[in-house]
Amino acid sequence: MTTPMNKNSLLVELFVEELPPKALKKLGDAFAGVLRDQLAAQGLAEAGSVLTSYASPRRLAAHITHVAERAADKAVSQKLMPVAVGLDASGQPTPALLKRLGALGADASAVPGLKRAMDGKAEALFYESTAKGATLAEGLQKALAEAIARLPIPKVMSYQLESGCELPGWSSVSFVRPAHGLVALHGDAVVPVEALGLKAGRETHGHRFEAAIDPVVLRDANSYALQLQEEGAVIASFEARRAEIARQLAAAAVTVGGGSVPIQDEALLDEVTALVERPNVLVCSFEREFLEVPQECLILTMKANQKYFPLLDVSGRLTNRFLVVSNISPDDASAVIGGNERVVRPRLADAKFFFDQDRKKSLASRVESLGKVVYHNKLGTQGERVERVMRIARSIAQSLADKLGDAGLASHATQAAQLAKADLVTDMVGEFPELQGIMGRYYAQHDGLDASVADAIEDHYKPRFAGDELPRNSVGLVVALADKLETLVGMFGIGNLPTGDRDPFALRRHALGVIRMLIEKYLPLGLDALLQETAAQFGGIAGFESSRATGELQDFILDRLAGSLREQGASAQEVEAVLAPRPQRLGEVPKLLAAVRAFAALPAAAALAAANKRIGNILKKAPEADAHVSELLLQEPAEKALHAAMAQVVPAANAQFDAGDYTASLQTLAALREPVDAFFDGVMVNAEQADLRLNRLGLLMSLHAAMNRVAQLERLAV
């Protein structure tokens, strides 16, 4: 076997036209990762090779240490066929064996050296040979093709190559963006590979305007990042460029003073990193009069349209200063600053115009227009949807008003539900859909509505994502719950269920929102009652099936809850035990789970769980049983002892359960372990006498019911 030699670092770069910024980091990581994995799979890259990925607006590159010039040879053992097929009775090779050997480049002379080994129940012939290790040129060509083919390209472009690429005539190529250069260096040597109609070399290009040298001729693989930065004015590493932008943003904010800080937005930082090669942060400003517009509007237009970083003061309020990440570093930046200030001004003026125009009409006057906005072709308009949400919210509020001590809850929740979607027909939300709810709150405040109603209009979309905050008041909580229930019940009722990764109506998120509100706010509301009340609001809608909207939806919500509990550290057995009885008050679930965990730690838990499972199996085969027990029919000492123990323990456990002390209830029931074990050791349940058998089944049924009020303990049985 040959020994791999010349282990140097490898550098591969694709130089292309501007890549899609939102996909750049993912493209860079994928390109480098697949290259490294493919080289490792061919034995060219060591297990300990260090991978560094590079991604800038015009390049994808990978640097991999400890890459061999040639992979080590490998011993290969190939199964040919069973001995009985390959050799005749005299041990001579059959035509089938000779043909197979010929296909492998061998002949009859190889027959004596064939290895015999058992393959299943039959003995087989194996041909052992040595496969030469791939050269780096061969392996990299394969790896490069694979890396390009497996790029997570959001949208492919087709473009033509000129004959200058040494291809006859014109050829069409498909890639994320037109590629203009390929670098492949192993140490200081060019690896002769091709891709996208390009032949590998050592030349690349730096910054369009500020490169000191063009082209940049790379000395070797290890000098790539340094040469690009010094000669090409490009920070090739995405992470290094991102860190430099963050550093400059913070430093620029300090120069503004007043405790100013740039807005924190990781997605915006990633996108800007993907737009520049040599970042230069500049401070700009706009007229203070625009600060009369809600800051959410100004922040959104600066971030979304211009990729600027607004500056906030120490109290989190927007200032009239913002930061621009420029891709050039002129000696006099005034022209760049002035240009960006001129660009942002019309955007802010539009926002101010929309805000001023929208306030000329009240939210209440806009509700009628929702009747012209289609919500869903089977579920009607937004206006019809609002009517349903109003009725659901009123019903929930009436259920909670006394418990929360809020006499005005129903009227405020009904009003908030009526107005919650009205901002959808405003100019501002029409331009910036992300501001729905937020603008509704501002317009409600302008209309002089109660603060709880205004806050609820914004908050009824919460929680909008995992970890998001819940509505800040009871009115918002009621309307948010009503809104999410209406969506869930409506979509399930017409059969629009999530499938696999597809969930266009975000029903999983809505279900988790309902779960969080019911649990974290400890609402005394039954899940089935909520779903039934919501489903009743869809009467008369063609194709709406209440069974889907209640039964299947309840299963869906409990399944979401089970997943959430497991993510929080609960075991599958504990979750199944708690949710199997289908608890209706989801706010009780954390207490039930804590009780089950405490019970599972008791010495008696395993035996009682196993007994519970045994009792359940017995009762499944005895449909004639009921929970009636006659003391006159108790004959065996063990069944009398169990009945007596239950008479003492069960009432105490039930009282604790009714008081909400589920942990104490289960721990009290743990005292039944010994009499339960004695019962199964000394009593024949299926006695021949029918009255004795039914009485014993009744005793077990009473025990089973008592022990499974908190959770199905049999689910804890191993």
Mean pLDDT score, 467-472: 94
Mean pLDDT score, 136-156: 90
pLDDT of residue 2: 41
Q: With a cut of 80, say whether residue 162 has pLDDT above it.
A: no
pLDDT-derived band at 624 (thresholds 50, 70, 90) equals confident
Give the Cα separation of 536 and 550 in Å (integer): 10
Strand-pair partners of 309 = 323
pLDDT of residue 163: 52
Helix, strand, coil % (nearest 5) of the chain? 55, 15, 30
129 or 558, higher pLDDT:
558
- Kindly report, residue by residue over 186-196, the tens digit of the pLDDT: 999 999 999 99
pLDDT of residue 142: 94
Strand-pair partners of 159 = 173
Residue intervals in the chain for CATH 1.10.3210: 365-569
Residue intervals in the chain for CATH 3.30.70: 8-71+135-232
Q: Are 251 and 310 in contact (CB under 8 A)?
A: no
pLDDT of residue 238: 97
Strand-pair partners of 342 = none
pLDDT-derived band at 9 (thresholds 50, 70, 90) equals very high
C-beta contacts of 532-537 below 8 A and 24+ residues apart: 533/392, 533/395, 534/392, 534/482, 534/485, 534/486, 534/488, 534/489, 535/489, 535/493, 537/388, 537/391, 537/392, 537/486
Mean pLDDT score, 26-42: 94
Q: With a cut of 60, say whether residue 630 has pLDDT above it.
A: yes
Q: Are 460 and 437 in contact (CB under 8 A)?
A: yes
Architecture of the domain whose range is 8-71+135-232? 2-Layer Sandwich (3.30)
Mean pLDDT score, 510-537: 95
509 or 48, higher pLDDT:
509
Work out the mean pLDDT of the chain and round it to a whole number. 91
- Kindly report, residue by residue over 437-456, the tens digit of the pLDDT: 999 999 999 999 999 999 99
Q: With a cut of 70, say whether residue 169 has pLDDT above it.
A: no
pLDDT of residue 4: 44
Residue intervals in the chain for CATH 1.10.730.10: 589-716
The DSSP H or E segment spanning 302 is helix 295-306
109 CB-near residues (< 8 Å, 6+ apart): none
Whole-prediction pTM value?
0.81
Query: DSSP letters of 619-678?
Result: HHT-TT--S---GGG--SHHHHHHHHHHHHHHHHHHHHHHTT-HHHHHHHHGGGHHHHHH
411 or 74, higher pLDDT:
411
The SS3 call for residue 128 is: strand
- Kindly report, residue by residue over 306-320, the tens digit of the pLDDT: 999 999 999 999 999
pLDDT-derived band at 134 (thresholds 50, 70, 90) equals confident
pLDDT of residue 292: 95
Q: Which CATH class is domain 365-569?
A: mainly alpha
pLDDT of residue 210: 93
Give the Cα separation of 642 and 647 in Å (integer): 9
Superfamily of domain covering 589-716:
Isoleucyl-tRNA Synthetase; Domain 1 (1.10.730.10)
